[in-house]
Chain A
């Protein structure tokens, strides 16, 4: 029974930790499916985390915070779009620049506004996303097995967690069942064909980059206003890159992205809870857990366990023929 309680707790924290990964991963999915590589997920999340916490702290409203987070992330997205679509610059270099920009600007502005060493004041009350209790969660918690699963695991998360997981079927539907999705995927594989069909490549790519910005914004806001209570320096802690790893792991498919993010979330949850794991004499150090998402991604990229093939036109600026 004690094992079961621990299991539920670990899975519960898996869901919390997987949520920002999932949002960022789906953000990257839209962008990369449209042929725009985005290694600036980390920076956009960080920027959104800061602005959501800052606005929530000042106004006391977490919803205004969420809007500010999405807005700031969209501005960075626009920068990425201008650099990589309009001026046909190197998408990877643009992503690197965006990461540094966010890393520097957040601390700079935080210090200038709040003077607390690069952090925002702690959020409380309406400044945070509160957990949502499902109906009858309290009453059912006594029921064996089903009770804890319903009341602990599924119920009691903030609304953004449910939004993130609902985004998975929505993304699948948009990408594979709508005209917009078909065009978006086509523009990442063969932009010339899309252009010939009379659809704007530039427009589609900007749309994809904008969706990416919105989702990164939600991810950042979740970090600062739901998972934690306020912004601290470098709080994304490489999550943008783990999301990128998950995206490759999932081979750019929405449902697989969810499972990849849950797996990487589970690794984080285990590392948080157990530190070094003793498996009957063999000790797995906590650093292995930290490095595992990256190692798994390299293995997948190497193509030893099924090959990860990115969208064909990914990373290449589109030049109209004259």
Chain B
């Protein structure tokens, strides 16, 4: 028998962890001499109070959905992919190449092509760590960390020495041609008399991310491959007895994970910047870890957690604009979320399990 009901595991524990992270964040804001309630008010109006704010919140959320799904898929196979950042960087390179060097007639076909390139480049960057883990037993956490740094150096080289237009000092590619510019929420939802999402970067790739959530859900819970991934994640020896190849599952799960992280580039590179710049990922690959932990590796949880983090990012930017609280507050909140939902999970879980056990005894 389970130690506690499912709803407690899925809803109660993340909520308590989030509450603890919130309380500590409020204490941090108090400690630097600001008012936490005012800060929350500013964040809510800044991120959710207008379609402009929502446009930014959903833009960030799109990034985090992709990287969160990437970490979540790997988690199901009990692999910790810290390399989302590097895989997303390479995805950006793929998008830039496809958008710059192929003359696309229309953005819709370009989005398909760029998405494919982003996924391929991201998956390729995950392939070597995956192979080394599966075949040579090299710890995937360490290799993916190393690959993040190698990706950063590689991208730096490509932008400075290869893709930078002549005469430009800025390590970035030229702007993508007009034909591959993705429709923004502003152009999609505005009417002649009522302009919404004005100037906000949210674009059609948000729906690609939502679609990715659905596809990942179907993959993990409705296909044979997903079953094998989960079986392997639960027990390696059990999976081997069932005839599941650990090498195949490790590599396939990491390829899917890398592809999802790479897909993020359709949003930040193709949808927003419309060119490839240095550090275009802005740490979104790492936020995927917090998002996946918070969302309990379930695509719907990832969806909700991504929107929460999108809100935090946009709200944090507003805070930095109107108060003396720097944007790094968000990094602290992110750290606390990872700490409580990830590393200190047992701190919340153990007392709750005891509580539910004693409640059950009392009922019998």
Contact = CB atoms under 8 A, between A and B. Distances in A.
Interface of A: 39, 79, 82-84, 87-94, 96-101, 103-105, 107-109, 111-112, 115, 118, 238, 241, 244-245, 248, 285, 287-288, 290-291, 294-295, 297-298, 301-303, 308, 310
Nearest to A113: B32
Contacts of A107: 326, 328, 331
A97 B149 contact: no
B143 to A, nearest CB: 6
Contacts of B350: 87
Nearest to A289: B153
A55 B309 CA distance: 34
A104 B334 contact: yes
A150 to B, nearest CB: 36
A250 B180 CA distance: 49
Given A287-B156, A291-B150, A294-B146, A101 B332 contact: yes
Contacts of B344: 82-83, 87, 89, 94
A96 B139 contact: no
B161 to A, nearest CB: 6
B89 to A, nearest CB: 13
B149 A84 contact: no
Contacts of B332: 100-101, 104-105, 108
A244 B143 CA distance: 11
Q: Which 3 A-B pairs rank lowest in CB-CB distance, beginning with the nearest?
A: A104-B331, A100-B335, A94-B343
B286 A298 contact: no
B153 A290 contact: yes
11 contacts: A83-B344, A92-B82, A93-B80, A103-B331, A105-B28, A287-B160, A294-B150, A297-B142, A298-B132, A301-B139, A310-B139
Contacts of A303: 136-138
B145 interface: yes
Given A87-B346, A291-B150, A301-B132, A92 B143 contact: no
A100 B283 CA distance: 11
B342 interface: yes
Contacts of A88: 346
Given A100-B335, A298-B138, A298-B143, A112 B150 contact: no
Nearest to A94: B343
A92 B78 CA distance: 13
Contacts of A79: 339
Q: Is the interface of B mostly helix, strand, loop or mixed?
A: helix
A291 B157 CA distance: 11
Chain B's interface size range is 35 or more
A98 B332 CA distance: 10
B336 interface: yes
Contacts of B206: none
A302 B133 CA distance: 8
Nearest to B145: A241
Given A100-B335, A103-B328, 4 more contacts: A87-B343, A104-B334, A108-B325, A109-B32
B154 interface: yes
B33 interface: yes
Nearest to B149: A294
A79 B344 CA distance: 10
A164 B172 CA distance: 40
B39 interface: no
B304 interface: no
A256 to B, nearest CB: 17
B324 interface: yes
A101 B154 CA distance: 28
B328 A90 contact: no
A301 B142 contact: yes
A94 B334 CA distance: 12
A310 B326 CA distance: 40
Interface in B223-259: none
B21 to A, nearest CB: 10
B343 A97 contact: yes
Contact of A238 (B28, B137, B149, B331): B149
Contacts of B150: 291, 294-295, 298
Contacts of A89: 342-347
Given A97-B339, A285-B157, A244 B82 contact: no
B338 interface: yes
A170 B309 CA distance: 46
Given A93-B289, A108-B332, A285 B343 contact: no
Given A88-B346, A101-B336, A301-B132, A96 B82 contact: yes
A118 B328 contact: yes
A290 B324 CA distance: 35
Given A248-B142, A298-B143, A302-B138, A93 B153 contact: no
Contacts of A295: 146, 150
Nearest to B151: A291
Contact of B331 (A100, A112, A287): A100
Given A107-B326, A287-B156, A97 B342 contact: yes
Contacts of B142: 244, 248, 297, 301
B80 to A, nearest CB: 6
Nearest to A107: B328
Interface in B305-363: 324-326, 328-336, 338-339, 342-347, 350
Contacts of A241: 145-146, 149
